[in-house]
Amino acid sequence: MFIYHDSQDIPFMFEAGQLHGIFGVSGAGKTTWMRKMAGLDAQTRGGRYQNLAAASAVAYLAQTPHLLPHRTIRAQSVWVSDALRTERWAQALDLTDVLDYFPHRLSGGQYQRAALLRVLATERRVLLLDEPLSQVEESLRHHIFRGLMQYLADNPQRLVIFSSHQWADLWLYAHSVSFVDLGQPLPPRPLPSAFSDPPNWRIARLLGYVASVSDGSGGYWLLHPDAVVLGPHPELGLVLSGQARAVSGPGDVVRQWQFHSDTPRVALAWSDQAARRPREPGPLVITIASPPHVTYPMEG
């Protein structure tokens, strides 16, 4: 267990041997927070780790990394780690072929992976990665995240924390997630349960919730398009009746369905797909399967 106390002495507990995510909109303060955790920006008040000196145990990957232009990828990685670990991680990151290139010859995605290589090869106890794979294509990203998970499984005393503004990355690979809201990070919570209990409407919106319905006694149900099931199924969740409208794209092919409920008045939209395709536009009854029950309505 790694425990980090922030500047207000709030403890953030991270289970060792796991991959943790930091999630928030662009500009929410993810980078500021990660720099603090890396012990950077000494002028702003940072936090501290319990039983851990940041200077010797934490490695940090910047969101827009700077590889040295005058050294090869291999040279600069070996300089901060060693030849063996550089080779091993280069394989995991699919960089073996370009290891002896200078950075200016790399593509955007390769550059980002080369910067990640330099950090991973240090194999420090805590790896802080700020949007590490934002420019890497989907299949390779999957491969690399799998590699990180395997590394943690083999090294249960290590910790990897990464930030992303793409919920899918966290959903697929993170054990827990810290939401960063209005510059303030919230202590990590395990996934997938963190998804069904967003702490406020801004984060709920970020997670894809589009509307809320009052339960009549001060609480609210959150509606997510992915939870829509056609037809009345009161045993599954919340039943809504209203009007469905087909939205066509080029070629007059239906691309999307928009639904407006009668009471209460809320709107939902979902892509056209066989499982959730109404027979025709017009009156429709849908069910929102297991909607989260929260204390706030959706705004904004």
Per DSSP (E only), the strands in 191-251 are 211-214, 220-223, 228-230, 237-248
Shortest separation between residue 276's beta carbon and another protein, angstroms: 47
What tokens does 292 get? 């989260």
How many Å apart are CA 80 and CA 128, to the nearest integer? 16
Residue 80 in contact with another protein, rule: CB under 8 A: yes
Q: Which of 52, 88, 122, 142 is in the footprint of another protein by CB under 8 A?
A: 122
Q: Which of 56, 217, 263, 295 is in the footprint of another protein by CB under 8 A?
A: 56
For residue 128, the 8-state DSSP code is E
Cross-strand partners of 118: none
What tokens does 136 get? 């890497």
Shortest separation between residue 93's beta carbon and another protein, angstroms: 16
b/e 80-100 (16+ beta carbons within 10 angstroms → b): ebeeebbeebbebbbbeebbe
Which ranges of 81-128 does DSSP label H, i.e. alpha helix?
83-92, 108-120
Q: Which of 19, 28, 59, 152 is in the footprint of another protein by CB under 8 A?
A: 59
Residue 69 in contact with another protein, rule: CB under 8 A: yes
Residue 39 in contact with another protein, rule: CB under 8 A: yes
Residue 102 in contact with another protein, rule: CB under 8 A: yes
- Only one of the segments 2-10, 88-96, 115-123, 271-279 lies at the binding site for another protein (rule: CB under 8 A); that segment is 115-123
Shortest separation between residue 145's beta carbon and another protein, angstroms: 21
Binding site for another protein (CB under 8 A): 38-40, 55-56, 58-60, 62, 64-66, 68-71, 79-80, 102, 104, 118-119, 122, 124
